[in-house]
Amino acid sequence: MVDTILNTLHNAFSDLSYSDTYTQAQKCTRCPLATTRTKVVFNQGPVPCKLMLIGEAPGADEDIQGIPFVGRAGQLLTKMLEAVEIFRPNDIYITNTLKCRPPNNRTPLQSEIDYCQDFLLKQISEVQPRILILVGSPAMKTILHPDESISKIRGKWFNLTVDYMSESLRVMTIFHPSYLLRNASKEQGSPKWLTWMDLKEIKKTLDTL
């Protein structure tokens, strides 16, 4: 069995409704990011939802709008999802490991991820996805704790045991769209091409569920 935080979805908000947890997040001061954020970026998408995506953290545009993946990287992600006929906001629930923007978009600290983890577990337990997409290395490390780098892990299915369904939760890591913006080639074998292959595989599997 993969050692993952999803081995138990019990969390500090287990006794609260989803909407009460959302309200708690909007006024959360669990970590120092509360003092620098503009808006808490909780999610976009329906609850429950077969397909869930977890990114890293809000950036500047997300911090202003309060919606995940709306900046340049988010627009690329949206285009790539649409190319495999996955449409926001109805087909996919989108969130991040952190709900508040780290200053200057620095990499999240492990302490911040730990403080925010209860919100993420609550979201997964309410959304009850059948497929989970991990976008970028921090999301991958938060859920899968792999020893290997993202270039080795991406595109592989992991089957995780969760307590809301008898079947395994299928988890796949893909490259972060901000990485794809810095690596624009679409040639076969390029990060963009590989991500395209990964999203096609995810859509093909989604259609069987």
Tokens at residue 116, please? 């925010």
- The span of 33-41, 44-52, 87-95, 166-174 binding ligand SF4 (CB under 6 A) equals 33-41
Q: Which stretch binds ligand SF4 (CB under 6 A): 67-75, 94-102, 161-169, 175-183?
A: 94-102
User: Using CB under 6 A, which of 77, 81, 86, 116 touches ligand SF4?
Assistant: 116
Contact 99, 41 (CB under 8 A): yes
Residue from the set 92, 100, 162, 169 that interacts with ligand SF4 by CB under 6 A:
100
Do the beta carbons of residue 13 and residue 118 sit within 8 Å? yes
Number of residues that bind ligand SF4 (CB under 6 A): 14
Give phi and psi for 178, each to the nearest 5: -65, -30
Which of 145, 130, 45, 50 has the alpha carbon at shortest distance from 96? 45
- Taking alpha carbons only, the member of 56, 41, 40, 60 closest to residue 103 is 60
Whether 31 and 113 have beta carbons less than 8 Å apart is answered as no
User: First vs last Cα of the chain: how many Å apart?
Assistant: 23
Is residue 121 part of the contact set for ligand SF4 (CB under 6 A)?
no
Q: What minimum distance in Å lies between the beta carbon of 31 and ligand SF4?
A: 3
Q: Which two tokens stand for residue 82?
A: 């649409």
Whichever of 30 and 141 has its CB closer to ligand SF4, that residue is 30
Of 37-56, binders to ligand SF4 (CB under 6 A) are 40
Told to check if 139 binds ligand SF4 by CB under 6 A, we report no
Site residues (vs ligand SF4, CB under 6 A)? 25, 28-31, 33-34, 40, 98-100, 112, 115-116
